[in-house]
A and B are shown apart, each in its own frame.
Chain A
Amino acid sequence: MSTTPRVSSAIAGEPAHFGSVLAHQPAIASAFTDLYAAFWSSDVLAARLKEVARMRNARVTECGFCRNVRFDKALGEGLGEEIVDDIDWGYETSDKLSDAEKAVLKFTDALIHDPELLTGDAQAALKRHLSPEQIAELGLGLTLFLALAKALITMGLEPEVMGRTVLPTPAPAEMA
């Protein structure tokens, strides 16, 4: 996995990072920013559950950038590091993660890793904890998390060194 950018920044004076590289395609960048803000600002599915799924995706895809970013909305909903630490292999036995969070994690693993993991029991658990509309929103999030992580990694935009970084949760421009 390369930590040397494979694409240059399209913004003068800025190093190559996801935003400055995506600026080579302004229409894609604009549509993504709009979508990601709408996704995170929707409260159909709690930000804490979205962040649980995003953290799991970060570990499975080996996205170091994703793994070190925290969105403040989920922190405000109580997703502390002691809980994030349990979003690892063996999360099923965690006593810090709720049953709903474990159902989300199992679905996350099935979508981003192995669809065979979505057994009848896993599907029943997901439907017990999430409404169809919430599952749709989770599916959208996982699609974006996975695509973002893989695009970032394959364009060589993984940071060499990065500490934990709390960022404002993406929000629509008029709300920011």
Chain B
Amino acid sequence: MSETKSGPVTAALAGSPALGAKFEAFRSAAHDALGEEMVAHIRRAISEVHGVDAPVPMGEAPEIMLAYARRMPFEHTAITDEEAAAVLAELGEEKFVAFSVVAALFDAECRAEKVDLAGLSS
């Protein structure tokens, strides 16, 4: 997935502009809460698990957060209280909430890309 904005779900909703705009507003709100640089790192970490292309992000992100993000696609029920507490301590509560939404949403978007949701919807 090469674009920060847009993505397979937004593309699939091209014929439903009202829903597409609301989805993009939700996605943007989540991204804005975390900052695009951190979002790019999360995207890259999750994309690698799914085998989906993603641009190399700028700068650095806490490895503890990226390791947690890599668990989201296939191991979300196995994340321990200790792992969550470590990321929470790193990010603080407000950003941990945004991080949880961004990571879960990006996992779902990768999956939508892998079934070619946009192609099926055109």
Residues of A within 8 A of B (CB): 1-2, 4, 6-8, 10, 21-22, 24-25, 27-28, 30-32, 34-35, 38-39, 42, 44, 61-62, 107, 110-112, 115, 118, 123, 126-127, 132-133, 135-137, 139-140, 142-144, 146-151, 153-156
Contacts and interface: CB of A to CB of B under 8 A. Distances in A.
List the 6 closest A-B pairs by CB distance, nearest first.
A136-B121, A150-B104, A31-B26, A147-B104, A139-B117, A115-B114
A132 B101 contact: no
Given A6-B88, A24-B93, A148-B104, A153 B76 contact: yes
B15 A132 contact: yes
B98 A28 contact: yes
Interface stretch (B28-36, B37-45, B58-66): B28-36
Given A25-B33, A32-B26, A136-B13, A154 B101 contact: no
Given A27-B29, A155-B100, 17 more contacts: A2-B81, A6-B84, A6-B85, A24-B94, A25-B30, A25-B101, A31-B26, A35-B19, A132-B122, A133-B15, A136-B121, A139-B8, A140-B13, A143-B105, A144-B108, A148-B104, A153-B76
A32 to B, nearest CB: 5
Q: What is the interface of chain B mostly: helix, strand, loop, or mixed?
A: helix
A132 B19 CA distance: 14
Given A137-B16, A150-B72, A154-B84, A132 B121 contact: yes
B25 interface: yes
A38 B26 CA distance: 12
A2 B115 CA distance: 31
B120 A146 contact: no
Q: How large is the interface on B (under 10, 10 to 19, 20 to 34, 35 or more residues)?
A: 35 or more
A139 B25 contact: no
Contact of A135 (B14, B32, B120): B120
A143 B33 contact: no
Contacts of A118: 115
Contact of B97 (A21, A39, A115): A21
B79 interface: yes
A27 B32 contact: yes
Contacts of A142: 108, 112
Contact of A8 (B23, B32, B93, B104): B93
Interface string B82-117: 001100100001101110110111011101101101
B29 A28 contact: yes
A35 B76 contact: no
Contacts of B104: 146-151, 154
A139 B76 contact: no
Given A31-B29, A38-B19, A42-B19, A140 B101 contact: no
A22 B104 CA distance: 14
Contacts of B115: 107, 110-111, 115, 118
